[in-house]
């Protein structure tokens, strides 16, 4: 009886029960992570590069920092992607084996939040006379690196199981729509963080971290109180695929047909391309505003808010568009919107126009986040492989950012031009359109009784 009760009901629409038990808690969890990464991506690159005269040529930065180059800052900012790259598939397969997703989330998220709260206090240890002189800042820099490491470990150990659990609880036919609502809540968190973090930062550099870290802590407590593990599925440990090594993780493909394998690889490539384009925005977008437009990092935060307003507005439409133009068509549309927006920014660098185009770009970039996970979950043969497959998708996303952020950082160092951030978007989005054309699976399935 319990198994039947906890199994997701076959449904044609996102109903009240699904909203209360899945959409809201997963939305708040995503909003928590979104606010954390919004503050992190906006200010941590500034902390790392402040004090470097090449970075702050206009003297607009109001904080002390470690004086790193764009390339070195990009490497450190890519550590989360490196850990996703190494451990994402294993964490996913581990949760497949145990048949439990929640324990991974229960301990990792609160620990990550505590380390996030500590970040600005480490920066406050930098004396004015040592600003930008890394050789004199080894202790606070080492502390910063440790905190960042714990945050990203928490992200890896909670992210993959949370995505796998989400799609176990949402029926196939409404995965895109439900994901749209979840992403809407998450995007609202990002908008809130980007809109308020600049104002809070101008008051005190600690405030964005305290305010949004505290809200995230409330969100994770709510999530853990509401979400329950499904009991209707067979853990992978009770199958022949164990997942103890890379070979075992890849052995999950033994149940896949050639067509399924090809489509999974295409999904991985599409995700790679989208992240290859968006990665430099998250890391160097604020630096572009400071360096090219010569505005303060507080103004850069407003650009991030505009991006996520566009993203927020795109989440629900991108969830419903597949009903009319297919999931593949929605992916191609989103990539096209992102490419055109970035091209306009390159051709006409102006802060007002930048805000408009970044908002439109955010609308386009809602497509992969809303659609790719439902596409993947409807390609795989059964939910015993959800964790491993989502882990591999996150692996491809992490690989893209791991490569793109330091690569474009190096290009910025060589050409001394932060406008290359937008070149990355144009190239990656164009390739994503071409790749999406070849998808032949991943549309919504009819629910089986």
Least confident of 106-120, 131-145, 334-348, 379-393: 379-393
What's the token pair of residue 67?
A: 């004086």
pLDDT of residue 27: 94
* Domain map (residue ranges) of the chain: 16-232+246-436
Q: Encode pLDDT of 282-337 as tens digits.
A: 778 878 887 777 777 667 767 777 887 888 899 899 988 998 999 999 999 999 99
Backbone angles phi, psi at 11, to 5 degrees: -150, 155
pLDDT at residue 179 is higher than 50: yes
Helix ranges (DSSP H) in 348-437: 351-377, 386-415, 420-436
CA–CA separation, 365 vs 313, rounded Å?
Answer: 11
Which residues does 218 contact at the CB level (< 8 Å), separation at least 6?
none
* pLDDT over 60 at 61, yes or no: no
Model pTM? 0.72
Give the span between the Cα atoms of 223 and 22, in whole angstroms.
9
Domain covering 16-232+246-436 assigned CATH 3.40.50.150 in the classification? no
Q: Please provide the average confidence, as pLDDT, over all residues in the chain.
A: 82
Residue 420 near residue 279, CB atoms below 8 Å: no
Quote the CA–CA distance of 350 and 330 in Å, as a whole number: 29
Query: Reduced to 3 states, what is the DSSP secondary structure of residue 379?
Result: coil
* Whether the predicted pLDDT of 226 surpasses 70: yes
pLDDT tens-digit readout, 381-429:
766 677 778 888 888 887 887 788 888 888 888 888 888 999 999 999 9
Q: Which of 260, 250, 237, 248 is nearest to 100 (CA)?
A: 237
Cα separation, 434 vs 436, whole angstroms: 6
Q: Is 68 left (phi over 0), alpha (psi -120 to 50) or beta?
A: beta
Residue 254: other Cβ atoms inside 10 A: 9
pLDDT at 239: 42
Query: pLDDT digit string (tens) for 188-202?
Result: 888 888 778 888 988
Both ends of the chain: CA-CA distance in Å? 16
Residue the block writes with tokens 């927006």 = 341
- pLDDT for the residue numbered 422: 92
């Amino acid at each position: 009886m319990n198994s039947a009760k906890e199994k997701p009901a076959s449904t044609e629409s996102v109903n009240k029960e699904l909203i209360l038990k899945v959409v809201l808690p997963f939305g708040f969890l995503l909003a928590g992570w979104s606010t954390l990464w919004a503050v992190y991506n906006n200010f941590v690159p500034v902390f790392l590069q402040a004090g470097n005269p090449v970075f702050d040529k206009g003297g607009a930065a109001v904080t002390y920092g470690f004086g790193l180059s764009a390339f070195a800052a990009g490497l450190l900012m890519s550590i989360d992607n490196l850990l996703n790259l190494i451990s994402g598939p294993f964490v996913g397969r581990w949760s497949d084996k145990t048949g439990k997703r929640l324990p991974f989330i229960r301990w990792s998220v609160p620990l990550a939040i505590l380390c996030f709260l500590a970040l600005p206090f480490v920066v406050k240890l930098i004396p004015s006379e040592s600003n930008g002189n890394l050789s004199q800042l080894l202790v606070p820099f080492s502390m910063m690196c440790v905190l960042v490491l714990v945050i990203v470990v928490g992200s890896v150990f909670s992210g993959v199981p949370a995505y796998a659990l989400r799609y176990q609880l949402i029926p196939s036919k409404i995965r895109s729509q439900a994901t749209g609502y979840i992403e809407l809540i998450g995007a609202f968190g990002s908008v809130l963080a980007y809109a308020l973090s600049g104002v809070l930062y101008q008051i005190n550099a600690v405030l964005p971290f305290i305010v949004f870290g505290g809200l995230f802590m409330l969100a994770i407590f709510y999530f853990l109180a509401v979400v329950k593990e499904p009991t209707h599925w067979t853990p992978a440990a009770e199958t022949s695929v164990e997942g103890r090594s890379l070979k075992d993780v890849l052995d999950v493909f033994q149940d896949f047909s050639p067509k399924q394998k090809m489509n999974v690889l295409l999904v991985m490539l599409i995700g790679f391309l989208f992240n290859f384009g968006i990665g430099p925005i998250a890391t160097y977008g604020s630096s572009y505003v400071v360096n090219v437009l010569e505005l303060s990092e507080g103004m850069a935060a407003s650009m991030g808010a505009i991006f996520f307003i566009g993203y927020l507005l795109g989440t629900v439409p991108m969830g419903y568009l597949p009903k009319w133009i297919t999931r593949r068509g929605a992916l191609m549309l989103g990539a096209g919107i992102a490419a055109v927006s970035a091209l306009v920014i390159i051709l006409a660098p102006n802060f007002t126009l930048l805000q408009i185009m970044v908002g439109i770009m955010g609308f386009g970039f809602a497509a992969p986040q809303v659609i790719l996970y439902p596409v993947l979950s409807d390609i795989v043969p059964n939910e015993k492989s959800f964790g491993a497959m989502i882990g591999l998708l996150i692996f491809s996303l992490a690989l893209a950012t791991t490569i793109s952020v330091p690569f474009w950082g190096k290009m910025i160092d060589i050409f001394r031009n932060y406008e290359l951030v937008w070149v990355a978007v144009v190239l990656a989005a164009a390739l994503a359109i071409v790749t999406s054309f070849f998808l032949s699976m991943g549309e919504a399935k009819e629910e089986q009784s």
